[in-house]
């Protein structure tokens, strides 16, 4: 790291040297400061910025997603306070919107989503209105991959990795707002798409929305 | 080529002067809202009658003068009568014969149908001295609207059109930026960012090509300013865009408008090809060396596309989900190239500023917000329509002096400003000056200029629910905060309007609203909190009535009201309600002929209340719903 | 039909929106075959085309009815009782917003705002704007356009009133 390309920032009172243009999240993690994160992929440009779990407060700028916001000289970052309260809110609602059928879940014990929730000490809240999402059929058509749209937390990691590998993705985000979700073309079975079954999406999926058949 | 424009201009002017000085002209406003009021029938009828009677008259289709409440509007100018042009309102087919026979053929100007006479200010802006609103209004953006034929570039040229562009093209771009800076012009899209700064930022970047986008994606429900400007005076926007292209060095421009505005698309297409014909668009514009053209892009119904990064994705053909800035669009915008996005009215104002000078513009309005603001005044207000006033004019003046106040003697309750991202301001805010900073302090935003009046018959809780419902449908869904917090807030509000809310819900609602305001990646969802926060702040008592007493004070929330026919007021021989009830929920007592609503069949559509003759007013709404039992008991006993 | 139409547009991603609009204009809706053809023309995945198309309210994946009713629920229309108008259409036509009657004669949709706020509440039926609607006028407008309640319902209605 060349010196002229480095900047000094302060995270939670600790001086941190970071590469100019680097995102706050990765600078913090390299300095040993934990910020929860789920959708973040360091190589993704632009960053996904979907999960709202890495929010931090930057003085003079307000709350930002640390995986998206680049560092700048003299930046003062607080990972506690408002950022932490907002991260909790996002996690609570993600949990409230998730089926939580953990006992039968193929990712049981390996669920990244749950791990982050535990690290944040957030349990499934009871004081919200139930989202009552309509249950969708699980797609087991593909010889290698099971796609359970009900488990999806809409982080978009599968799309990113699939675009990197395949180029022509067999699924994409559809709809918008609360109805936004991942879907194949016209909800066709995955087996009828260009999916090669390479399993890269399964590796990055933080929940059990995408699983290998052999795991299930 | 320069001579060419001057030639065209002179010819157009001569024609215009003939038209204004000698000919008998009938101007008919045919913008979208005029059409909804029947303007096309009026037009057709005028055509037929004039032909039949052999009257030598020019019929000119014009845009919108902003007096939408009185549509269809007709302006007749008969120079021989010695009278100035006269503006007539509410001219549906039935009045055409009277006007043709009375005024076109005879000497009677039919003053009983007139709203006023059309006079002109020094700069040619028409105004109606008889209407008090014109004393308050200052029309810069709307200067030509409703008086020229938007489909005839000759009208625009005759009023000095494109001469400003010709002059600007000979100026150094930096000199133009200085002029815009002198005017202190802030973007009219709502955020109020300095236009000069945005342009300078883009101008300084080396990368090529550069793009220019006119944001005409007026997605805010209740706003129609941009539609009117583009339908009524498209060339002023095009002229402003070419000036901007010269400044930043753009080679390609886009107007991004809504598919819901077919007339805008139709008229813009014509205007663009006319501008190309006279050399105001295309290669080497007016011999200046600038080559620039404009492509029309029609959105397909997505509110979020009004956000500039989403709009850029939409033009690229991708899913229009806003992205986080930086990088800003002026650095990496359309196809990763430097891009300036400005609102329709900003471009129209650029044309005016370059014509009249920045100094003059900066003297209008307030120190921080110069110039004029255009509002679309709608909802529960007398004179619905477009309003253009100097920045800093109080809300009271706009709503009561320009808009004529609330109809039918009802009480003003709130004004909703700035669209779904704006806020609801109460009576106590009426003396607030309308400018970017005052509105923000009060919890609303200028937005692009929708102003919806609400009266005692509007429920503020239901209004908050409405806006959240809209935002939930229209948000992109990308970040968890935006997607889930807005949905959760909506679920709570849906319960409250059904009488299933609790006092604790109000605190949770406020907490969620504060969170979403801070924690989302784009302005769409972060401003989603505004309607909820402002209604909670200014109308808490109404929320409390809903959660504590299960009562809707405005008698709107369907689950909290019942319809009731007051027996003493029911004229028993009249069967209006019985005959019109869509669910046959109204019975007649055989003996007394009294009408009674069968509550289990009633769908609460309100038809009976609508059709009950005003002299009886026998149908009322009561809340909470149980109250009807007491009333029935008292009446029966 | 789609093939010829597609060839008149350059195979650039930038054309996607206007191609989808043109297809819907000529065919009335976006069918599975048409979407797949668009994807092939632009050399992008059909899933991506579907992802873009589903973002916009304008696009339909089932055909319109012969009469297409769009109820405006913009702010002004809402403040003036727009929901009651939509309710009335849903009740009269016996379909929900987004749906179509069994005989494919009538389809019903809602829209955010058509910018005709001064005439609120409005509905658009086959591109004609009907201004200042009331629930009562809904029946009238439908009757003028030749809507007949299905036989079954009429009978049920008659039965109830007897």
The CATH number that applies at residue B485 is 1.20.1440.230
pLDDT tens figures, A164-206: 987 789 999 999 999 999 999 999 999 999 999 999 999 999 9
Judge if B334 and B219 occupy the same domain.
yes
pLDDT band at A215 (very low <50, low <70, confident <90, very high): confident
- Chain A residue nearest residue B482, CA to CA: A177
Domain that holds residue A117: 1-132
Q: What is the DSSP letter of B83?
A: P
Domain boundary among A107, A132, A157: A132
B142 domain residue, yes or no? no
pLDDT band at A156 (very low <50, low <70, confident <90, very high): very high
- Going by C-alpha positions, the residue among B31, B40, B128, B22 that lies closest to residue B77 is B22
Least reliable range by pLDDT among A28-42, B119-133, B249-263, C105-119: C105-119
**Structural contact between residues B617 and B586, judged by C-beta atoms closer than 8 angstroms:** no
CA–CA distance, B527 with B423 (Å, rounded to integer): 9
Residues 14-73 of C with CB under 8 A from A: 32, 35-36, 39, 44-51, 54-55, 61
Domain boundary among B493, B520, B548: B548
Reported as type and span, the H/E element at residue B226 is helix B225-232
| Chain B contact set for C111 (CB, 8 A) | 260, 301
The full 3-state SS of B287-346, as one line of letters, equals HCCCCEEEEEEECCCCHHHHCHHHHHHHHHCCCCCCCCCCCCCCCCCHHHCCEEEEEHHH
Please report, for chain B, how many H helices and E strands are present, in that order: 27, 20
Q: How many CA atoms lie within 13 A of B72 on its CB side?
A: 26
Kindly state the average pLDDT of the residues A25-42: 96
Of A85, A93, A153, the CB nearest to B485: A93
Count of C-beta atoms within a 10 Å radius of residue A107 = 21
8 Å CB contact of A173 and B515: no
Q: What are phi and psi of B596, to 5 degrees?
A: -140, 140
B274 domain residue, yes or no? yes
| Chain B contact set for C51 (CB, 8 A) | 319
Average pLDDT across chain A, whole number: 93
Judge if A73 and A120 occupy the same domain.
yes
DSSP B130-154: TSTHHHH---STTSSTTTS-TT-HH
pLDDT tens figures, B255-268: 999 988 999 999 99
Kindly state the average pLDDT of the residues A100-127: 93
ipTM of this complex? 0.96
d(CA B463, nearest CA chain A) in Å:
20
Judge if B219 and B332 occupy the same domain.
yes
- Asked if B476 is an interface residue toward chain A (Cβ–Cβ < 8 A), one would say yes
The CATH number that applies at residue B349 is 3.40.50.11540
How many domains are there within chain B? 5
8 Å CB contact of B297 and C18: yes
Judge if A77 and A176 occupy the same domain.
no
CA triplet C122, C126, C132: central angle to 5 degrees? 15
**Structural contact between residues B375 and B386, judged by C-beta atoms closer than 8 angstroms:** yes
How many domains are there within chain A? 2
Kindly state the average pLDDT of the residues A103-120: 93
pLDDT at A51 over 50: yes
Q: What pLDDT shows up at residue B494?
A: 96
Q: What pLDDT shows up at residue A216?
A: 64
Of C35, C47, C61, the CB nearest to A169: C47
Domain that holds residue B44: 12-131
**Structural contact between residues B53 and B105, judged by C-beta atoms closer than 8 angstroms:** yes
pLDDT at C37 over 50: yes
Whole-angstrom Cα Rg for chain A? 19
Helices (H), B62-171: 93-99, 133-136, 153-158, 163-169
* The pair of three-digit structure tokens given for residue B210, joined into one six-digit string: 């550069």
Judge if B329 and B388 occupy the same domain.
no
Best of C10, C24, C53, C75 to disrupt the B interface by mutation (most B CBs within 10 Å)?
Answer: C75
| Chain B contact set for C75 (CB, 8 A) | 220-222, 378-379, 416, 419-420, 450, 452, 466-467
Kindly state the average pLDDT of the residues B471-475: 90
Judge if A142 and A169 occupy the same domain.
yes
Judge if A57 and A114 occupy the same domain.
yes
Judge if A125 and A162 occupy the same domain.
no
Q: What is the DSSP letter of B433?
A: B
Omega before residue B72 within 30° of 0, cis: yes
**Structural contact between residues B632 and B571, judged by C-beta atoms closer than 8 angstroms:** no
pLDDT at B213 over 50: yes
Judge if B466 and B525 occupy the same domain.
yes
Domain boundary among B521, B548, B575: B548
Least reliable range by pLDDT among A207-211, B230-234, B521-525, C58-62: B521-525
d(CA A46, nearest CA chain B) in Å:
8
pLDDT band at C155 (very low <50, low <70, confident <90, very high): very low
8 Å CB contact of C46 and A185: yes
Of B319, B483, B495, the CB nearest to A178: B483
Of B68, B320, B583, the CB nearest to C118: B68
* The pair of three-digit structure tokens given for residue B626, joined into one six-digit string: 């149980």
pLDDT tens figures, B157-173: 999 999 999 999 999 99
Fold of C67-148: Glutaredoxin (3.40.30)
Of A174, A183, A194, the CB nearest to C45: A194
B96 domain residue, yes or no? yes
Omega before residue A112 within 30° of 0, cis: no
Judge if B70 and B124 occupy the same domain.
yes
Counted across chains A and B, CB pairs separated by less than 8 A come out at 106
Of C44, C45, C54, the CB nearest to A170: C45
**Structural contact between residues B307 and B524, judged by C-beta atoms closer than 8 angstroms:** yes
Least reliable range by pLDDT among A147-156, B133-142, B321-330: B321-330
| Chain A contact set for B301 (CB, 8 A) | none
pLDDT tens figures, B413-445: 999 998 888 889 999 999 999 998 898 888 888
Of C20, C52, C127, the CB nearest to B319: C52
Q: What pLDDT shows up at residue C152?
A: 45
Domain boundary among A109, A132, A155: A132
- Going by C-alpha positions, the residue among A127, A120, A94 that lies closest to residue A209 is A94
**Structural contact between residues B306 and B215, judged by C-beta atoms closer than 8 angstroms:** yes
Q: What are phi and psi of B341, to 5 degrees?
A: -115, 120
* Termini Cα distance of chain A: 44
pLDDT at C96 over 50: yes
Q: What pLDDT shows up at residue A4?
A: 58
- Asked if A52 is an interface residue toward chain B (Cβ–Cβ < 8 A), one would say yes
Kindly state the average pLDDT of the residues B494-513: 96
Residues 557-596 of B with CB under 8 A from A: none
User: What is each CA distance from C122 to A32, B258, C110, C144, in whole angstroms?
Assistant: 60, 18, 11, 17
Q: Where are the beta strands (DSSP E) in B21-117?
A: 25-29, 58-62, 74-77, 86-88, 114-117
Best of C31, C51, C52, C112 to disrupt the A interface by mutation (most A CBs within 10 Å)?
Answer: C51
pLDDT at C1 over 70: no
Judge if B277 and B183 occupy the same domain.
yes
Judge if A85 and A170 occupy the same domain.
no
CA–CA distance, C86 with C69 (Å, rounded to integer): 10
* The pair of three-digit structure tokens given for residue B477, joined into one six-digit string: 């869904």
Least reliable range by pLDDT among A132-141, B26-35, B40-49, B320-329: B320-329
The CATH number that applies at residue A194 is 3.30.70.20
| Chain A contact set for B478 (CB, 8 A) | 49-50, 180
- Going by C-alpha positions, the residue among B22, B63, B57 that lies closest to residue B39 is B63
* The pair of three-digit structure tokens given for residue B271, joined into one six-digit string: 């205007």
Judge if B355 and B379 occupy the same domain.
no
């Amino acid at each position: 790291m060349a010196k002229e390309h480095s900047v000094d920032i302060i995270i939670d009172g600790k001086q941190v040297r970071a590469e100019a243009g680097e995102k706050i999240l990765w600078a913090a993690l390299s300095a040993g400061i934990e910020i929860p994160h789920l959708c973040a992929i360091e190589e993704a440009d632009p960053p996904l910025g979907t999960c709202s779990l890495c929010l931090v407060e930057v003085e003079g700028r307000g709350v930002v997603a640390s995986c998206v916001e680049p560092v700048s000289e003299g930046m003062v970052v607080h990972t506690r306070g408002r950022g932490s309260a907002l991260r909790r809110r996002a996690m609570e609602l993600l949990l409230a919107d998730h089926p939580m059928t953990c006992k039968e879940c193929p990712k049981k014990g390996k669920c990244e989503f749950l791990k982050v929730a535990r690290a944040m000490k957030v349990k499934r809240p009871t004081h919200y209105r139930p989202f009552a999402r309509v249950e969708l059929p699980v797609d087991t058509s593909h010889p290698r991959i099971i796609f359970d749209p009900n488990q999806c937390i809409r982080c978009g990691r599968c799309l990113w990795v699939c675009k990197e590998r395949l180029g022509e993705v067999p699924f994409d985000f559809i709809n918008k707002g609360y109805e936004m979700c991942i879907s194949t073309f016209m909800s066709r079975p995955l087996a009828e798409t260009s999916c090669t079954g390479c399993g890269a999406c399964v590796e990055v999926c933080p929940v059990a929305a995408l699983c290998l058949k052999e795991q299930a | 080529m320069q001579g060419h424009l001057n030639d065209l201009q002179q010819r157009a002017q001569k024609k215009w002067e003939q038209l204004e000085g000698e000919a008998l002209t009938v101007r008919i406003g045919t913008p979208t809202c005029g059409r909804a009021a029947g303007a096309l029938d009026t037009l057709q009828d005028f055509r037929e009658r004039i032909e039949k009677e052999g009257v030598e008259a020019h019929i000119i289709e014009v845009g919108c003068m902003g007096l939408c409440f009185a549509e269809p509007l007709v302006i007749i100018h008969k120079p021989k009568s010695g009278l100035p042009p006269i503006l007539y309102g509410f001219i549906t087919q039935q009045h055409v014969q009277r006007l043709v026979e009375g005024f076109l053929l005879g000497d009677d100007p039919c003053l009983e149908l007139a709203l006023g006479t059309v006079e002109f200010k020094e700069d040619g802006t028409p105004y109606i001295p008889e209407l008090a609103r014109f004393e308050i209004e200052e029309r810069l953006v709307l200067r030509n609207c409703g008086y020229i034929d938007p489909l005839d570039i000759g009208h625009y040229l005759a009023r000095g059109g494109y001469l400003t562009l010709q002059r600007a093209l000979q100026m150094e771009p930096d000199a133009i930026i200085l002029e815009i800076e002198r005017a202190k012009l802030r973007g009219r899209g709502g955020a109020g960012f300095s236009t000069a700064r945005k342009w300078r930022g883009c101008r300084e970047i080396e990368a090529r090509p550069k793009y220019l986008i006119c944001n005409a994606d007026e997605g805010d429900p209740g706003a129609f300013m941009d539609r009117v400007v583009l339908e009524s005076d498209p060339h002023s926007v095009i002229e402003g865009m070419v000036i901007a292209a010269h400044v930043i060095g753009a080679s390609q421009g886009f107007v991004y408008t809504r598919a819901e505005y077919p007339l805008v698309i139709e008229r813009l297409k014509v205007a663009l090809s006319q501008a190309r014909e006279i050399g105001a668009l295309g290669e080497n514009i007016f011999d200046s060396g600038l080559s620039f053209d404009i492509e029309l892009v029609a959105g397909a119904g997505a509110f979020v596309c009004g956000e500039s990064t989403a709009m850029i994705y939409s033009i690229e053909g991708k899913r229009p989900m806003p992205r986080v800035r930086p990088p800003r669009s002026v650095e990496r915008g359309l196809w990763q190239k430097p891009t300036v996005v400005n609102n329709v009215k900003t471009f129209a104002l650029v044309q005016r500023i370059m014509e009249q000078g920045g100094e003059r513009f900066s003297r209008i309005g307030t120190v921080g917000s110069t110039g004029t603001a255009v509002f679309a005044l709608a909802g529960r207000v007398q004179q619905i329509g477009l309003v253009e006033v100097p920045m800093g004019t109080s809300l009271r003046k706009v709503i009561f002096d320009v808009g004529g106040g609330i109809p039918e003697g009802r009480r003003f309750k709130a004004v909703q400003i700035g669209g779904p991202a704006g806020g609801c301001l109460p009576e106590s805010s009426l003396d607030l000056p309308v400018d970017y900073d005052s509105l923000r302090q009060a919890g609303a935003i200028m937005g692009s200029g929708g102003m919806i009046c609400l009266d005692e018959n509007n429920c503020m809780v239901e209004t908050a629910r409405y806006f959240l419902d809209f935002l939930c449908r229209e948000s992109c869904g990308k970040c968890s905060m935006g997607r889930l917090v807005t949905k959760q807030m909506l679920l709570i509000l849906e319960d409250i309007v059904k009488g299933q809310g609790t006092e604790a819900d109000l605190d949770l609602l406020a907490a969620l609203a504060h969170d979403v305001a801070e924690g989302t990646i784009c302005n769409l969802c972060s401003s989603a909190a505004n309607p909820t926060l402002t209604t909670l702040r200014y109308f808490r008592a109404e929320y409390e009535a809903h959660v504590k007493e299960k009562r809707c004070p405005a008698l709107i929330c369907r689950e909290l009201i019942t319809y009731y026919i007051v027996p003493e007021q029911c004229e028993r021989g009249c069967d209006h309600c019985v005959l019109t009830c869509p669910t046959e929920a109204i019975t007649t007592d055989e003996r007394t002929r009294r009408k009674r609503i069968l509550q289990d069949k009633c769908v609460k559509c309100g038809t009976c209340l609508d059709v009950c003759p005003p002299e009886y007013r026998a149908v009322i709404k009561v809340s909470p719903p149980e109250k009807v039992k007491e009333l029935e008991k008292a009446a029966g006993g | 039909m789609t093939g010829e139409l597609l060839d008149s547009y350059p195979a650039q991603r930038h054309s996607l929106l206007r191609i989808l609009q043109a297809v819907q204009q000529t065919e009335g809706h976006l069918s599975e075959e048409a979407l797949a053809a668009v994807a092939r023309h632009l050399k992008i995945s059909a899933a991506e085309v579907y992802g873009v198309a589903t973002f916009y309210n304008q696009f339909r994946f089932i055909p319109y009815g012969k009469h297409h009713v769009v109820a405006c629920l913009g702010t002004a229309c809402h403040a003036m009782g727009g929901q009651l108008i939509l309710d009335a259409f849903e009740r009269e036509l016996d379909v929900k917003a987004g749906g179509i009657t069994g005989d494919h004669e009538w389809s019903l949709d809602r829209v955010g705002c058509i910018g005709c706020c001064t005439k609120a509440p409005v509905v658009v039926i086959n591109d004609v704007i009907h201004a200042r609607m009331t629930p009562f006028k809904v029946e009238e407008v439908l009757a003028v356009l030749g809507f007949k309640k299905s036989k079954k319902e009429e009978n049920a209605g008659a039965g109830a009133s007897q």
